[in-house]
Amino acid sequence: MQFQQLQYFVAVAETRHFTRAAELVHVAQPSLSQQIKSLERELGADLFLRARGNITLTDAGEALLPLARRILADADTARQEVQELAQLRSGRVRLGATPSVCTGLLPDVLRAFHDRYPGIRLLIEEGGSHDLVRELARGALDLALVVLPLPTPSPALTTVELLREDLVVVSSPESPAPGGGRTVRVPDLEGARMVMFRHGYDLRELTVAACRAEGFEPDFAVEGGEMDAVLGFVRSGLGLAVVPRMVATRSGRGLRVTPLAPPGLHRTIALAHRSDVAPPRAARELQRMLLER
């Protein structure tokens, strides 16, 4: 099995077209088809069902695809590691983070990292913890900042707790204060119009679970937004939202911030990476700065 054959296989699997796959990997289509057939002979199984205008994966192809992607991603990581110059003068870090962490925690750390290593490219991917764990597992990210507990615990990942953060309620100063006092309890949110994040957002799941634990379903005035959109909707008076204290502190202009009464709500942010592959050198340096922040 050759590395190049895996590249061709993944290209065909993703484009579902031999000619477009050949263009993608810059090779003549007959050469690509020949290499795919050679790979199938070596594996002893067809990888594609070939019908005119319709290329689909066989069961063998479906089984090979995630493994091939991981091998290619690992090879790319190795290439990046070897090509880094001395003293971290070049390279890249692929960092995943939930949108609220991007808003609250990352800006100061990334600025310090960039000032120290201006030649390192920072590639940031925002997403929910579930999506970030999947991207880590397939080798598309070097590090990820995720919310614990993970939606699907993975023994293939190593996680290190970074911080435990309080959640607060934000509302428009022109609206009545939630709870009518200096703090608000989760039961006080019953019947309140709320601005809710999109599905897959960790804060959505945490907030909805807390409301249900108190015996009620939250009432959504609007839902489906990312962090900036949710804060904007709250400022406009559409409803209130539960957000991390760090985000409220950074983005609090035009917002009333009300703490949750004890025991309150909290979330734990952890730094995760694959257990079977050490992060590249630049990623390890960013990891150190995050842990020492």
Does the pTM exceed 0.75? no
The string of pLDDT tens digits covering residues 16-49 is 999 999 999 999 999 999 999 999 999 999 999 9
How many separate domains does the chain show?
3
Yes or no: say if 68 and 259 are a contact pair by the CB < 8 Å rule.
no
Provide the pLDDT for residue 81: 67
Q: Copy the structure tokens of residue 178.
A: 């939630």
Q: What is the DSSP letter of 176?
A: P
Dihedral class, residue 150 (left if φ above 0, else alpha if ψ from -120 to 50, else beta): beta
Cβ neighbours of residue 292 under 8 Å, at least 6 residues apart?
none
Residue 30 is assigned to a structural domain of this protein: yes
C-alpha to C-alpha distance for 126 and 131, rounded to whole angstroms: 9
Last residue of a domain, one of 12, 44, 71: 71
- Token pair 């707790």 is found at 161
Cβ atoms of 93 and 120 closer than 8 Å? yes
Q: Can you give the residue range of the structural domain that contains 67?
A: 3-71
Q: Is 279 within 8 Å of 287 (Cβ atoms)? A: yes
If asked whether residues 194 and 252 sit together in one domain, one would say yes
Q: State the pLDDT confidence band at 92, using cuts at 50, 70 and 90.
A: confident
Whole-number pLDDT of residue 153: 67
Listed residue (266, 281, 272) closest to 83, CA to CA? 281
DSSP of 62-92, one letter per residue?
HHHHHHHHHHHHHHHHHHHHHHPPGGG-SEE
- The per-residue pLDDT for 128 is 84
Answer whether residue 209 shows pLDDT above 90: yes
Helix or strand run (H / E) with residue 284: helix 281-292
Higher pLDDT, 194 or 137: 194
Report yes or no on 93 lying in a domain.
Answer: yes
Count, in order, helices (H) and strands (E) of the chain: 11, 11
pLDDT digits (tens, 9 = 90+) for 108-150: 899 999 999 998 999 999 988 888 998 998 889 999 999 888 8
Q: pLDDT tens, 227-247?
A: 889 999 999 999 999 999 988
Residue 193 DSSP SS3: strand
Residue 145 inside a domain? The answer is yes
Q: Looking at the structure, do residues 188 and 259 belong to the same domain, yes or no?
A: yes
112/188 same-domain check: no
pLDDT per position as a tens digit, 243-272: 999 889 887 688 999 999 999 999 999 999
Residue 87 and residue 157 in one domain: yes
What does DSSP assign to residue 233? H
Strands (E), the chain: 48-51, 54-57, 91-97, 120-126, 143-148, 157-171, 193-197, 219-225, 241-244, 256-259, 266-274
Could you read off the pLDDT of 64-89 as tens digits, one per residue? 999 999 999 888 877 776 765 555 77
pLDDT at 90: 76
Percent of the chain at pLDDT above 70?
95
> How are beta strands 120-126 and 241-244 bridged, if at all?
unpaired
Residue 240 is part of a domain; what is its CATH number?
A: 3.40.190.10
Domain shared by 202 and 257, yes or no? yes
Taken in order 183, 185, 188, 189, the sign of the CA dihedral is: positive
Q: Specify if 76 maps to a domain.
A: no
* Same domain, yes or no: 159 and 233: no
